[in-house]
Amino acid sequence: MLYRDFATQEAIDAAYDPMVGRDPAALVADWRSRSVAARARHRVSLDVPYGPTLAERLDLYHAERAAGGGPAPLHLFFHGGYWRSLGHREFGFVVDDLVAAGISVGVVNYALCPTVRFAEVVRQARSALAWAYRHAAEQGCDPASISVSGHSAGGHLSAMLLATDWEGDYGLPADPIRGALCVSGLFDLGPFPWSWLQPKLRLDGRDVAEFSPAFLPCRSTARVSLVAGGEESDEFARQMVEYATHLGEQGIEVEQALLPGDDHFSILEHYLDGGRLAETIQGFHTPR
């Protein structure tokens, strides 16, 4: 077997191909159009650098209001694209509910494989969080109220932030994340060296071991929410369940949900119109 019960690359490819039945060009064109409209609706600082390379940029959508007139909570969103496609400009459309609720949102860009090694993608995600903590106050945000979320590959990156030694590696407080939402995330990288993605990702055994959140200790006590779509392949649900089990065994508060009727892309609509994902993120910033 190549991975678990998968004996062939074709079987792995089928299980991890979310574009089945979708028109990729039309899907991305719709996201881009809606994101242009979102940038026109909101006060946004474009391409704010969070690191030294050109790829390390984020678009910061400033909250419309903050409860009590104080600094706004800050949320970082990490986009999908299997670590090798897309960027921050396609995903501004997810911010509307959060900005209206008084939460500033940073939509994070990062370099893509194979232009950089997989480890560099993870480093940049961590750099974005470190920048957010250190510069929150100057952006009118509260460094003690930072949450993260991500879709697909971005769900993986959000989970990697939970496995980071923030104090030892970055000199930050040990637990700078209030809550993490992983949407259709990928937590075990084991199938991908055997898949159609390998020429782009170029993963080796060390990468799989070092960057699979399903096998890493969680260093955060953040509230964690995991969701996947009921119309996705069984592998997305299995990865979610196994990661939830891994977190629960470490005493982490985690909720998980399979959203009926949603595929790998329609699930993003739950960031909008009072959807479950927007409500979850708002809940991270609500006193308990």
Q: Higher confidence at residue 66 or residue 247?
A: 247
- Domain range spanning residue 197? 9-284
Mean pLDDT of 236-260: 97
Cβ-in-10-Å burial (0-12, 13-18, 19+) of 205 comes to exposed
Question: Is 51 a domain residue?
Answer: yes
The residue with tokens 């969080």 is 129
Question: Is 71 a domain residue?
Answer: yes
* CATH number reported for the structural domain that contains residue 178 in this entry: 3.40.50.1820
Q: Please report, to the nearest 10 degrees, the dihedral formed by the alpha carbons of residues 270, 273, 278, 282 taken in order.
A: -160
40-70 b/e (C-beta count within 10 Å ≥ 16 → b): eebebeeebebbeeebbbbbbbbbbebeeee
- What's the number of domains the chain is made of? 1
Question: Is 244 a domain residue?
Answer: yes
What is the C-alpha separation between 168 and 158, in angstroms, rounded?
19
Question: Is 4 a domain residue?
Answer: no
Question: Is 2 a domain residue?
Answer: no
Check whether the bond before 114 is cis (ω within 30° of 0).
Answer: yes
Question: Is 173 a domain residue?
Answer: yes
pLDDT digits (tens, 9 = 90+) for 90-143: 999 999 999 999 999 999 999 999 999 999 999 999 999 999 999 999 999 999
Question: Is 219 a domain residue?
Answer: yes
Given a cut of 90, is residue 20 above it in pLDDT? no
Question: Is 89 a domain residue?
Answer: yes
Q: What is the predicted pLDDT for the residue at 288?
A: 65
Q: Considering the entire predicted model, what is its pTM?
A: 0.97
DSSP-derived letter for residue 3 is B
Q: What is the predicted pLDDT for the residue at 252?
A: 96
In three-state secondary structure terms, 170 is helix
Backbone angles phi, psi at 111, to 5 degrees: -65, 155
What is the C-alpha separation between 165 and 118, in angstroms, rounded?
19
9 near 16, Cβ under 8 Å?
A: no
Q: What is the predicted pLDDT for the residue at 69?
A: 73
**Three-state DSSP string of 54-73:** CCCEEEEECCCCCHHHCCEE
Q: Higher confidence at residue 140 or residue 67?
A: 140
What is the C-alpha separation between 25 and 23, in angstroms, rounded?
6
